[in-house]
Structure 1
Amino acid sequence: MNLWRLPNITIAPEVVIPGTWITNTLLCTWITIICLAVILFFGMRRQDLVPRGMQNALEWVVEFLQNLVESVAGKEKGKKFFPLVFTFFIFIVLANLLDVIPGVDTIGTIHSEKAGAAITGPFLFGDASNQIIPWIRPATTDLNLTLAMALVSVVVTQIMGFSMLGFGEQISKYLNFRAIKEKGAMGFVDLLVGLLEIISEIGRLISFSFRLFGNIFAGSVLLAVFAYLLPVVANIVFIPFEIFVAVIQGFVFAFLTLLFMQVGTTSHAAHHDEGEHGIHHEYEGSAAAH
């Protein structure tokens, strides 16, 4: 009999309550939402003029992200972009941080069908210890969740574009038939660029979802394996690194969403006019110098 075996790594989430659709990642998503609600409640209930404790930490995060959003998009657009950017950041960071809590991804029930008839040892120990179904698994290790957040990011960006630029200007980014009428044969180049923009939107869904999923899933596997091999070393070395990765991945997802919303709500005609305006001024400056 083996004392323990390395855990069986599965990409797909597993059902933790038989007969239901509740998976370990969905359960962790609910836990993340509850924790987030508790943190926001205790951080905002007093609202002292001189903040301290949880209120001080939350205000620092809000001010940091608000300044970042306004520096990229300006105050007017920043007010519209900030709620989504802040929500993505704080939710992803908290969901990622749950991975470093002891027992997450390592404690659960034995999958009796895969383990066979002889099941020895509870949870972490015995011949069947590699057939554990974790009760809780980090929410962002579920591709369904990361793909859903990527879809929200892309869809909201498009809605913002139609709202701020108008239907005609926004749709011309992707189907620029007007360029064929104005430029003739050269207009087909603009039409092709627009079609490539459609492909890039689909590529954004893939890159957004797989970047976050891949980084957090790999870190989760790393912690789970080393929790069995070298528990003390894992705590000292990998947990601080995973905390760093958790924050960075939340920031990257939120910041890229901000950048895409800024680009998606900027008129192509404005870029063209600014370019011509800059060239005109450069020409006038050169002529004056001569």
Structure 2
Amino acid sequence: MTSHRSDVGLKIIVIAVIALAVIGSGFVLAAGPEPHIVIPGEILWQLGPLPITSTLMAAWLAMVLLIVGTFLMTRTMKLIPTGAQNFIESIIDFLYGQVEEIAGETNARRFFPVVASFFLFILVANWVALTPIFKSIGVTKDYGHEIFHEIQEKAAKGKAFDKDKHFLAWQMEDAGGIGLAKTGAETFKFDIHAGEDPADVLDRYIIALAEFYTDFQPHADPAHGTGHADPADVEAAFAALQADPDAPKFIAESHGESTAEHHGVTSKALGQTFTALDFPGDKIALVYPFFRAAFSDLNNTLALAIFAFLVIEFWGFQSLGFGYLGKFFISPLKNPILTFVGILELVSEFIRIISFSFRLFGNIFAGGVLLLILTFLAPFIVPLGIYGLELFVGLIQAIVFSLLVLVFAVGAVEHHGEEHNDEHGEGRHADEHPSPQHQPGAVQAH
């Protein structure tokens, strides 16, 4: 008995050691740089006035997967379904049954295409966002040159910066034209403050680069400081950059070289004018992913919410005509309380757009941030539990959104008011007691 307990204890210790070793190896092999979290989708390209964002690309990917997947699974339709066709039909049949149970047979035929489309689109978009291609592959934006370009533009106009700018980027190596963030790469941060002169910003930038790429240590914080940099710090920082072959190099202006395209920026501390910046070694850049969770962008959730609002109102007018407005506008002479209630209902119709948008956006964005932070803190094993949770959250959010659309649609097509209840009471009782041909198990001819 004692030997059995010792064997069990030994197994537990071995498993614990292996788990800790795997988790620890993650910090060496897969430790990512400090997460860069932004709320709007990253703009990848500009198509005329339309920005193509990473979240829009993700929405298009979900559409393609739904369309192509459905086509492939049903391209050889059979009267008696098998395989993939049977799988698709079982899902559609289940969804239709749920819609019919809530909305009734007549309304289910109207509502089902829209409600099912909402559910499947949101579900696929949420689940595909958990695959490895999301937030890991994209275009590289070179912030090292971007900062210098910002300084050049302001210097060319002879104006101070008119607003604060915050830059955060990673140390990356250039592998055949592809920017790769190093394992555990350092994060470079630099701030520009409103009212600062471009020359002062240039001096602080020289110090910040020297501190990041070399062993140079300034007397003040160069990235977040303001005002004039210490000239001694600027001179020492510039010398440190020049001495390190892999550090960035500021290229001084030659006689007559400064043009509108390559405008020179003069350092107050050094008295030299620089027209360009070269990175012979690692660069400072960010990866703007091709795909980010579609509904981690408020624009996409707002688009869904507006469409849901419009289709619900359309169904209301389609069923009740202009009598649909009767539930919002009730004469105060008839019933002052119902007049006030009607106004509240009208306001709530528009508030639904906000609740639809922020509920879906908040849950998906928060889940993405949680995964990003946890993967940064513990690269292996630990995030797996959160991935399982996010699969569940993605399903729940698809159910909640589509179910709310269905419930609001049912409320929109129902008659309101005592007169309507009396007028249509007979029809309601007829629905409660269906004719034999609508009873379960009855056979109907079509």
Fold conserved (TM > 0.5)?
yes
Rate the CA distance shift 1:190–1:262 in 2: closer, same or farther, 3 A.
Answer: same
Rate the CA distance shift 1:148–1:273 in 2: closer, same or farther, 3 A.
Answer: same
Secondary structure in 1 matching 2:417 = helix
Q: Which amino acid aligns with 2:342?
A: G
Secondary structure in 2 matching 1:29 = helix
Which of residues 120, 132, 151 is equivalent to 2:172?
Answer: 120
Percent identity of equivalent pairs: 35
Q: Which amino acid aligns with 1:86?
A: A
Equivalent positions of 1:249-260 (< 5 A) are 249-260=397-408
In 2, distance between residues paired with 1:206 and 1:18? Answer: 28
Give the structure-2-normalised TM-score: 0.55
Which of residues 298, 302, 310 is equivalent to 1:155?
Answer: 310
In 2, distance between residues paired with 1:52 and 1:116? Answer: 59
Equivalent positions of 1:1-290 (< 5 A) are 4-17=32-45, 21-113=51-143, 119-121=171-173, 122-125=179-182, 126-128=185-187, 131-167=286-322, 169-177=323-331, 180-181=332-333, 183=334, 187-234=335-382, 236-269=384-417, 273=421
Q: Which amino acid aligns with 2:406?
A: L
| Conserved 8 A contact 1:162-1:170 | yes
| Conserved 8 A contact 2:126-2:295 | yes
Per the TM alignment, residue 250 of structure 1 is displaced from its structure 2 partner at its CA by: 0.6
Per the TM alignment, residue 77 of structure 1 is displaced from its structure 2 partner at its CA by: 0.6
Q: Which amino acid aligns with 1:12?
A: P
Q: State which drifts further: 191-200 or 17-26.
A: 17-26
- 1:19-63 Cα deviation digits (max 9, x unpaired): 762111111111111111111101222223443332222112211
Aligned partner of 2:444 in structure 1 is none
RMSD: 2.5
Per the TM alignment, residue 242 of structure 1 is displaced from its structure 2 partner at its CA by: 1.2
| Conserved 8 A contact 1:141-1:213 | yes
Secondary structure in 2 matching 1:102 = coil
| Conserved 8 A contact 2:172-2:181 | no
Q: Which amino acid aligns with 2:313?
A: Q
Secondary structure in 1 matching 2:172 = coil
In 2, distance between residues paired with 1:90 and 1:271? Answer: 39
- 1:70-106 Cα deviation digits (max 9, x unpaired): 1111100110000100000000001001111013123
Q: State which drifts further: 107-116 or 72-81.
A: 107-116
Per the TM alignment, residue 174 of structure 1 is displaced from its structure 2 partner at its CA by: 1.1
User: Rg bigger for which structure?
Assistant: 2
In 2, distance between residues paired with 1:155 and 1:127? Answer: 48
In 1, distance between residues paired with 2:379 and 2:140? Answer: 21
Secondary structure in 2 matching 1:137 = coil
Q: Which amino acid aligns with 2:172?
A: T
Per the TM alignment, residue 272 of structure 1 is displaced from its structure 2 partner at its CA by: 7.1
Q: Which amino acid aligns with 2:186?
A: D
Aligned partner of 1:288 in structure 2 is none
Per the TM alignment, residue 111 of structure 1 is displaced from its structure 2 partner at its CA by: 3.1
Give the structure-1-normalised TM-score: 0.83
- 1:228-281 Cα deviation digits (max 9, x unpaired): 33233255312222111111111110011000000111111369737xx8xxxx
- Higher-strand-fraction structure: 2
Q: How many residues end up aligned between the 2 structures?
A: 267
Q: State which drifts further: 197-206 or 259-268.
A: 197-206
Q: State which drifts further: 149-158 or 118-127.
A: 118-127
- Higher-helix-fraction structure: 1
Per the TM alignment, residue 191 of structure 1 is displaced from its structure 2 partner at its CA by: 1.3
In 2, distance between residues paired with 1:198 and 1:112? Answer: 49
Per the TM alignment, residue 164 of structure 1 is displaced from its structure 2 partner at its CA by: 0.5
| Conserved 8 A contact 1:110-1:131 | yes
Per the TM alignment, residue 107 of structure 1 is displaced from its structure 2 partner at its CA by: 3.2
Per the TM alignment, residue 123 of structure 1 is displaced from its structure 2 partner at its CA by: 3.5
Q: Which amino acid aligns with 2:369?
A: V
| Conserved 8 A contact 1:165-1:265 | yes
Secondary structure in 1 matching 2:45 = coil
Q: Structure 1 stretches of 5 or more lacking a match? A: 278-290
Aligned partner of 1:280 in structure 2 is none
